[in-house]
Amino acid sequence: MNTIPEYILNILRRLEAAGETAVLVGGCVRDLLDSAVPRDYDVATSALPERVASLFSHTVPTGIRHGTVTVLDFGEPVEVTTFRTEGEYRDHRRPETVTFVSALEADLARRDFTVNAMAFDLCGEIYDPFDGRKDLENRVLRAVGDPAERFREDALRMLRAVRFSARGFEIEEKTLAAMRKNAALTSHVATERIAAELIVALTSANPEKVTVMFSFGMLDHILQRKTVAIDCVILRKIPQNLRFFALAALLKAAGAIESAERFARALKLDGKMVSLARATGKPAPQTRAAWKFFIAKNGETAVLALAAAADAVADELAAKSEAGVTTVPQNLEISNLALVGEILAGGEPCTLGDLAIGGSDLLVFGFRGKAIGEILWALMEKVCETPRLNTREDLLLEIRKISENHD
């Protein structure tokens, strides 16, 4: 088990010294037991929020209505939350009311999954009323109590379940069935949160698990076509930062979205992601020279995104071809990503900056303004086709030819 930071121990000690129960709860306990480094630490306590604030010098009432006070006494911000039970979830996201309680088990009973419903105290004792440690060891994701009730309370939990699944957990049968039945409730979740869970799942060890989001209909309110079944195994072969574009290509091929760009916009992704998604909407080049010219026009990241998208669709077509459904329209001896990687690693000229001449050389021939850019791009296309032409002498010769024709 990893060592708990001293600033966390200091908070637990002060609460315990004041006669209160204080424990670590949730994800940090799961991570500690799993020999992982927690991203943050959450403290739960029998102390009421006002009592917590009185025991520490620097606090912020970040969620006082729900019992949460952020303690800043030891440098790092730490959320300290009073043991509580929760009332009705009318919006399928947040409880209308909370009731502060003194019993730790009642607090753990309101949590989403058994692996997140454990607590850990200063003495090293683990509180595990729902056998979360056993589920953690077996890599099983099981809802606490009635899974349907947990998901009706907070629909985000279903998306979190997919994310855990992508990290290597097997979703328990009843939990999975409840996800299928209540999938439509994810329309109550903020789009930004949906996008965040999707991206994290895509960049995990088992990205193909995102299939559940689409086959169950969790994103029906975002997609063009409802409840689509796609095979996402190809995503394992795609670099993590490019998997979204490969997924979008699969969805488009299945008729679930109009374009990768619109999908990125619908998920409210940032401008860079939208721009890259737009690039994947362009036809995939069919030759080495065309790929190089695409790099020149759009940049390395965009070409990698398009190559990932093209590979995903090609893999899907290949699988269908093997099943006798269709034929593969292109040569798959080398993947598009491998070809682009080879081009980028080989140092082949594929940007205007790689040309052996520049705009100033065109000025000598009397070219001005827009004509300079047009000629440079024409030369770039020639060099992409025939790299050996990228010498100053050969390119000046090409410019002379253009100049003579221009006259």
Q: What is the pLDDT of residue 405?
A: 72
Q: What is the pLDDT of residue 328?
A: 39
Q: What is the pLDDT of residue 322?
A: 52
Q: What is the pLDDT of residue 321?
A: 55
Half-sphere exposure of 61 (CA within 13 A, CB side): 10
What is the rounded distance in angstroms from the CA atom of residue 248 to the CA atom of residue 258?
10
What is the chain's pLDDT, residue by residue, as a tens digit (407 residues)? 668 999 999 999 999 999 999 999 999 999 999 999 999 999 999 999 999 999 999 999 988 888 999 999 998 999 999 999 987 777 777 777 789 999 999 999 999 999 999 999 999 999 999 999 999 999 999 999 999 999 999 999 999 999 999 999 999 999 999 999 999 999 999 999 999 999 999 999 999 999 999 999 999 999 977 777 888 898 999 999 999 999 999 999 988 999 999 999 999 999 999 999 999 999 999 999 999 999 999 999 999 999 999 999 888 776 665 544 444 344 445 789 999 999 999 888 999 999 999 989 888 888 888 989 999 999 999 999 999 999 999 999 989 888 877 65
Q: What is the pLDDT of residue 56?
A: 96
Q: What is the pLDDT of residue 366?
A: 85
**CB under 8 Å, gap of 24 or more: what pairs does 243-247 form?**
243/202, 243/203, 243/207, 243/308, 244/198, 244/199, 244/202, 244/269, 244/273, 244/277, 245/276, 245/277, 245/280, 245/305, 245/306, 245/308, 245/309, 246/308, 246/309, 246/311, 246/312, 247/202, 247/210, 247/312
Q: From residue 1, how far is each of 30, 33, 36, 44, 100 by CA, in Å?
A: 10, 6, 8, 20, 31
What is the rounded distance in angstroms from the CA atom of residue 308 to the CA atom of residue 250?
11
Closest Cα partner for 228 from 153, 294, 340, 316?
A: 316
